[in-house]
Each structure stands twice: as structure tokens, then as C-alpha cells.
A and B are shown apart, each in its own frame.
Chain A
Amino acid sequence: MHDTAHAHVGQHAAPTSFIRKHVFSLDHKVIGKQYYGLALAAVLIGMFLSWLMRLHLGWTNLAIPGLHLLTKNGAPGDVMTPEFYLQLMTMHATIMVFFVLTTAPFAAFGNYFLPIQVGAEDMPFPHFNMMSFWVTFVAFLVLMSSFFVSDGPTLGGWTQYAPLSAVGQVGGPGEGAGVVLWALSIAIFCVGQLLGSLNFITTTLDMRTRGMSLWRLPLSAWGWFITSVMGLTAFAVLMPACILLILDHVAGTSFFVPANTVINDQMQPHSGGSTLLWQHLFWFFGHPEVYIAIVPGMGIVSHVLITNMRKPMLSHRVLVYAMGALAVLSYMVYGHHMFVSGMNPVSSLVFSFPTLVITIPSTIVVLIWMGSLYGAKLRINSASLFALGFISMFIAGGVSGFFLAQPSIDIMLHATYFVVGHFHLVMGVAAMFGIFAGTYFWFPKMYGRMMNETLGKIHFWCSFVGAYAIFMPFHYLGLAGNVRRYQAFAPEYMQHLIPLHKFITIAALFTGAAQLIFVYNLFVSRYKGEPARDNPWQGTSLEWSTPTTPPPHNNFGDKLPVVYHDPFQYGVESSTGDYVMQTSPEKAGPDDEA
């Protein structure tokens, strides 16, 4: 009885109407592409905002033609006010963290490829899946709408620290309606992620085709699965936190505002709450979130590297266990964001320890990559270059984490550009490189055409050099005492840093422009690219055994595949060449279980 119910879920006939096909589609592949499109739109907006910020940082009081169009009174004479700078910064970060780094590596690629890689026709709950995208889309609209209400979006930063985030208008431009829209948007976003996570986990555990044991899942599938487990509980805590924040605004409660708070010379009517409570709730989500952004990239990069090295990782299982350990530990370290928050210093010690422990699985993952790459004849293409770039960024950004993890050092570095450099490399750029690697690798399967390799390589080198040029100097700025979230460097001790800021701005404009090469490549290849074969990279996992490219509505036509192997039968001698696909019953070597 259970089994029949189980087999029924997830099946639905091919759509016939335009709306069902392209708008409210139930097909995980269409939903994946919709998520990708949303992330692409979001990342372009986010990047544009960062350009505005960088221009202002390099040349304070520079008039940026047309800037006044974005804001009611944030740019008199097209010159950015300090408040408007902070508003742009907050929107940049919120868009990037939530609508790019969470949606693209996880929701976009995961939706498209997880069901195919486990050998299913779709996810078990296609309606939830459709809702998850449209809910996320609405969340994005709500966030963007704050540009157009009263005095614009919130200026509180993506961490939205209380009390400024909770007191309303008096906290500054955007601290009224702007914050409410921000919190509403994030709360809605949480619902979308919950629906997505439910589908991802049930797909992985329940929808695997015959022969696809858990250990035969490719590493990308493991990345999405582990991420969805994190997403299940992290967002479930952020959502009530956002609702309490909204209550503080619209109902006048004081969850996050202590008594006798004076802001802008005004005594606040609130009484009794705690600003630290917000930080606890936020970071309990916030730290898992950074791993939600990076673990899918780890999976994608591993998958891309294995295919291009033509050999498995040193240890598939250890890599999976390490990613799992990251997920578990990510819940225990969140207090390292609060070392200087006024929390009990003993708590700092308590949180510092797991923070150092979490460097162990991170290091193991990196060592497995490096060890596997050592001596491998890596095929160099855009996908594998970005995979290497991912590792490079992850190391470069991760090393600074070791320093930040010590409360005594963090007292000096907290809230400086050092932290900004740390997370832009380890999370921002690394996760973006994971997205790029995945795009160059899977685009042929998604659209049936190849991307242009030459443009891809130019894109890589510009991004790689550019990202280091932008974010490495951040560490130096931080050590020199440059505080983050400042819009101008007026104090004398920061004056000599301005030339460096100018350099960074130029690098940022250049690197951002290089991303347009990618966008161009994406669109031109979509329509004019060379037609792709079913398995252009000689891969082994199930997405390469679909009967057509792109896969048909139910992924495998009228047959479900049967799996005979681990997903990494490379470097063997077989009838197809140096690899054996998971669906081939051919024995790949003495150790193969087939």
C-alpha cells in the first residue's frame, strides 16, 4: 500500500498550455531555469548597485548622472548621501546573499539536476516546487518595491541589527516601511526555501531509481541534499525572527528594543526587549546560511573536476562526510559573529572552539581536491577553470577565517574591511565561481547548445584576476583600521587609504564589465551556440543518459534508468572509452560492484 502511494507522487502529464509550460510550470527543469533567470536578474541588479557604491567610495561626492532617479531624496544633485550609500549597500547584500547565492547554486541547478541525477521523473511534490519559485519571486518583488516607497529601502545592512532596525522612521531613511518590506520579503523567502527543501530531501531519499543507492549519488547531488537539510531548519528560525521584527514595527512591541533607548535625541517609547536577541536569532540562521551558499558549489565543483580529471576523488565518502560535518557544525558556531556584541565573554570562548573545529572539515575538503588534482591530467575548459578558481577563492578567503575565529584577534578585526574581504572571497566569489562552473558544464544539457569556450576562458581570467584585485586589498584595508559600512574616509588615519579605494573601484568596474561577456555568451549560445551532443563531456552520471538533450518532460522517456555503478567510473578501459556510465551494465574494473 505504501509502495503504490510512493510511486504515484511526482508524476504529471506533459503540459499543453503556454501557462503551464512556461509560467506556472510543474516541471522541475523549467522551475530550475526560472530560478536561474531570477538569480541572473538579481545578480545584475546587485552588481549595478555595487558599482554605484564603489564609485562613491573612490570619489566621494562624485555626481553620478541619473542617480536621483533611484531615490527620492538620497541623491541631491546626483551626489549620494551617506544614508543612500547605506541603503544601496543593504540592498546589494540582501539581493546577493538571498536571491543569488541561495537561489542559483542550490535552487536553480538543484531543481534541474537533482531529480535527473537520482533517476526520477520529477520531484515528489511538483505543486510545492512551483510554489517555491513563485513565492521566492514575490519575495524579490517585495524587496525591490522598497526602492519605491516613502524614503526608500532600509539602510540597516543585511544583518539588520536592532535596535535601529526595530524603532522605525527615527532610525533613519528606510528604517520605517523599508525595514518592514525587507523583513516581509525575507519571511516570504523562507517559505519558498522550506517548500524547496521538502522536495529536495524527499527526492533524494525516496525517488531514487533502481540501483541508485545513496553512495552512488554523484557529489553534486550530495551537495544539494546536505544543503536542503540545512535549509530546512535555518530558514525556519529566521522566519519567526522576521515576524517579531515586523511586530516591533507595526504593532509597537519591543522584542528587540531595550528600555530607555535614545535614538537621534529621542527617547524611544519601547521598553524591555533585547538587541542581542535579534543577533542570536539572526546568526543562528546566518551562519548555516553561508554554508547553504557554499556547499552546493562544493558539490558542483567536485562533480565538474571529477569529470574533467577523468578520475574519482581520493575519497568520495570522506568528502561526503566532511560536507555533512560542515552542515552539522554550522549550527554550533554562529556566535563567532557576536564576539564583540557585548555577549558574555565566556560565550565567545565557547563559540570560538567549534569555529576552529569547523576548519577541519573545510580543510579536509580542500585537501581532497588538491590531492586528487595532484598528477591528474585535467582537461582545461571554462568549467574546470572556474572549478579551480572556486578552490583558490575558498582557500584565500578561508585562511582569514582562522584569524577571525580567535576572539582576541577578532576584537580588532571585527566590522572592518578584513571581514568584508574574508566573506567576499570565501562565500561571494567562490559561490559565484561555483555557479559559473555549473553553467559552463550543464548549459549544453539545459539548452542543447554549447557555450563559447573562448569567451568562457576570457571571462574566467578576467574574473579570477579581477576578484583578487578587488578583494585581497580589503584585508589590508581592514588591518589598517578601515571600518566597514563607512561611506567616506574622512578621519585622517584613513586618508592615505583613498588611493587604494580608487584602485579597487577601477578593478570592480573592470571585473563587473567582464561579467557582461558571460551574459552575452549565455544569450548568444542559447540561440546560436553549436548544437550539443547528449554527453559532451563524457560524463557518467544520469543527466548524461537522457534520451534527448535537453531531456524530455519526464526526463528519461518511457524508461527509467537502472544504475549499476558508482558515479565515478573514469580512467577505466571500456567499450565507450575511458569511462563507464552509471546506466551501463558493463563491469568497469575489479573493484566495481556491477
Chain B
Amino acid sequence: MSTTTPGEITMPMPAPAPSSLMEKPAFSVPAKKMAMWLFIIADTATFAGCLVAYGFLRNATPNWPRPFHSITNLAVMTFILLTSSLTMLNGVRAARAGNKAGALRWTLITAALGIAFALLHIREWMALIDEGMTLLKNPWGTGLFGASFYSITGLHLTHVTGGVIALIVVGLRYKGGRYNADDLEVLGLYWHFVDLVWMFVVPFVYLLNLAH
């Protein structure tokens, strides 16, 4: 098969393959974006598994506590995270428009909001620990409450932390020219997902456990 038969197209290497040599990508989604969507599907399964486990335990446990009295902190955190989705959108839009400085600025603002969220979250954890709630026990009822609270919010907080690091790294490399607007958009998908998951954590883990 060394000579060119009609079944082949000559393609100089190592130049990138012209896209005409490929079958149109399914759903016209490029690979990086698709990989992020797939990761999001997998991660959804992870969070769903955790939330279902939590619901299972909560239903099966008679002395499930409802210790939360105020939603002020929660509301502020949620507001910050929702806002950060908006700033992320702005960043991607700026990148699409070729506005490099704007894109970097919005991305870093998003990261800053993520940090603010994380700090508020950690402060909330500290307050709960002060009140005597640990992974193992708490003053109000079954120890499972603390275990599931810290695991689920901890899983989410890990996602936020990873996201913040990624935002800073990708933002700077975008400015340096290593990444482009597409990469920023892909990262944006992740960030919106982290935001969306929070919207499930809030009702299940917080609102259901508000004191009457």
C-alpha cells in the first residue's frame, strides 16, 4: 500500500489534518468540549450517587436533626456562586469577541468569586465545628448528619477549589496564547456545572434541614 490508491488522501505530516479529511464530528461538538460534557455526565453520576445515599440514610434514620436556623450565609454563598456563572459567561463572550484583556479580567473575577465562596463555606464549617458538629457526632441527633453534610459539601468544595485553580491557570495561559477561546468555553462548562450541582445541594442538604 505504499503507492497512492484512490482509497487514500495524501496528507503531509506533521501538519494538522485538514478537517475535510474527517467525518463531520457527531453533533458538531469538538473533542475537548465533548470530553467535558462526558466528564460532567460522570460527575453527575457521582453527585447523584452521594445525594441518593444521603436521602436513603436520612429516610432510614429516625433522629435526623434539623439544626439550621438561618439561611443568610447560604443565600450569600449561593448568590456569589450564581454571579460567578454570569462573570464566567462574560469572560467567554469577551474571548469570543477577541477581547483578550476583558476575557482574562472576567475569568479572574470568576476565580475571585469562587475563592469568596470557598472562604464563606469554610467559615461556615468552622462555625459548625465550634458548635460541636464533627464527622462523627453533633449535639442534635445522629452522627450521620455531620458525616453526610461534610462529605457532600466537601465534595462540592473540592470541585470549587479545583475550578478556581483551573480558572487561574487557564486564564493566564489564555493570555499567554497557549489556550484559546474554545478552551475557556470548555472550562466555563465545568464552572456552570459546579454551580448547578450547588443548586441541588442547597435544597437537599440545607433547606430540608432547617429548624421548624
Which residues of A are in contact with B by a Cβ distance under 8 Å?
Answer: 1-11, 13, 121, 124-125, 194, 197-198, 201-202, 205-214, 232-233, 235-237, 239-241, 243-244, 247, 251-255, 271-274, 277, 280-281, 284, 534, 545-547, 554, 556, 558-562, 564, 581, 583-585
Q: Could you show 26 A-B contacts with beta carbons less than 8 Å apart?
A: A5-B180, A7-B16, A11-B17, A124-B32, A194-B39, A205-B25, A205-B27, A206-B26, A232-B42, A232-B45, A233-B41, A233-B45, A237-B49, A239-B46, A240-B50, A243-B151, A251-B136, A254-B143, A274-B56, A277-B56, A284-B49, A547-B2, A554-B13, A559-B10, A559-B11, A560-B21
- Other A-B pairs beyond A1-B182, A197-B42, 7, CB < 8 Å: A7-B16, A202-B38, A205-B29, A210-B22, A273-B144, A554-B13, A560-B17
Q: How far is the CA of A533 from the CA of B178 in the complex (A)?
A: 44
In the complex, whether B169 has a CB less than 8 A from a CB of chain A is no
- Contacts A241-B49, A252-B135, A254-B147; is A6 near B42 (CB within 8 Å)? no
Q: How far is the CA of A202 from the CA of B5 in the complex (A)?
A: 29
- Contacts A201-B38, A244-B151, A554-B13; is A5 near B143 (CB within 8 Å)? no
Q: Which residues of A contact B30 (CB under 8 A)?
A: 2-3, 5-6, 9, 206
- Contacts A233-B45, A274-B57, A562-B8; is A209 near B21 (CB within 8 Å)? yes
- Whole-angstrom distance from the CB of B66 to the nearest CB of chain A? 16
Q: How far is the CA of A101 from the CA of B13 in the complex (A)?
A: 37
B residues 146-160 touching A (CB-CB < 8 Å) = 147-148, 151, 155
In the complex, whether B211 has a CB less than 8 A from a CB of chain A is no
Q: Is the CB of A562 within 8 A of B9?
A: yes
Q: How far is the CA of A55 from the CA of B206 in the complex (A)?
A: 56
In the complex, whether B28 has a CB less than 8 A from a CB of chain A is yes
Q: Is the CB of A210 within 8 A of B143?
A: no
Kindly name the residue among B11, B34, B35 whose own CB sees the greatest number of chain A CB atoms within 10 A: B35
Give the residue name and chain of the A residue nearest to B146 (CB): A253
Q: Which residues of A contact B34 (CB under 8 A)?
A: 201-202, 205-206
Give the residue name and chain of the B residue nearest to A581 (CB): B7
In the complex, whether B99 has a CB less than 8 A from a CB of chain A is no
- Contacts A6-B25, A198-B35; is A558 near B12 (CB within 8 Å)? yes
Q: Is the CB of B53 within 8 A of A272?
A: no
In the complex, whether B72 has a CB less than 8 A from a CB of chain A is no
- Whole-angstrom distance from the CB of B108 to the nearest CB of chain A? 23
- Whole-angstrom distance from the CB of B22 to the nearest CB of chain A? 6
In the complex, whether B161 has a CB less than 8 A from a CB of chain A is no
Q: How far is the CA of A219 from the CA of B61 in the complex (A)?
A: 49
In the complex, whether B14 has a CB less than 8 A from a CB of chain A is yes
- Contacts A7-B16, A13-B14, A209-B22; is A534 near B1 (CB within 8 Å)? yes
- Whole-angstrom distance from the CB of A288 to the nearest CB of chain B? 11
| Contact partner, B135, options A241, A251, A272, A584, Cβ 8 Å | A251
Give the residue name and chain of the B residue nearest to A203 (CB): B31
Give the residue name and chain of the A residue nearest to B26 (CB): A205
Q: Which residues of A contact B8 (CB under 8 A)?
A: 556, 559-562, 583
- Whole-angstrom distance from the CB of B92 to the nearest CB of chain A? 13
Q: Which residues of B contact A556 (CB under 8 A)?
A: 8
Q: Which residues of B contact A239 (CB under 8 A)?
A: 46
In the complex, whether B177 has a CB less than 8 A from a CB of chain A is no
Q: Is the CB of B142 within 8 A of A271?
A: yes
Q: How far is the CA of A243 from the CA of B6 in the complex (A)?
A: 55
Q: Is the CB of A545 within 8 A of B143?
A: no
Q: Is the CB of B57 within 8 A of A273?
A: yes
Q: How far is the CA of A373 from the CA of B94 in the complex (A)?
A: 60
Q: Which residues of B contact A584 (CB under 8 A)?
A: 5, 7
Q: Which residues of A contact B9 (CB under 8 A)?
A: 210, 559-560, 562
In the complex, whether B18 has a CB less than 8 A from a CB of chain A is yes
Q: How far is the CA of A98 from the CA of B211 in the complex (A)?
A: 45
Q: Which residues of B contact A210 (CB under 8 A)?
A: 9, 20-23
Q: How far is the CA of A542 from the CA of B38 in the complex (A)?
A: 27
Q: How far is the CA of A124 from the CA of B33 in the complex (A)?
A: 11
Q: Is the CB of A6 within 8 A of B31?
A: yes
Q: Is the CB of A277 within 8 A of B39?
A: no
Q: Is the CB of A198 within 8 A of B39?
A: yes
Q: Is the CB of A6 within 8 A of B22?
A: yes
Q: Which residues of B contact A280 (CB under 8 A)?
A: 53, 56
Q: Is the CB of B4 within 8 A of A559?
A: yes
Give the residue name and chain of the A residue nearest to B56 (CB): A277
- Whole-angstrom distance from the CB of B178 to the nearest CB of chain A? 13
Q: Is the CB of A9 within 8 A of B32?
A: yes
Q: Is the CB of A560 within 8 A of B144?
A: no
Q: Is the CB of B31 within 8 A of A124?
A: yes
Q: Which residues of B contact A197 (CB under 8 A)?
A: 38, 42
Q: How far is the CA of A208 from the CA of B27 in the complex (A)?
A: 13
Q: How far is the CA of A564 from the CA of B23 in the complex (A)?
A: 12
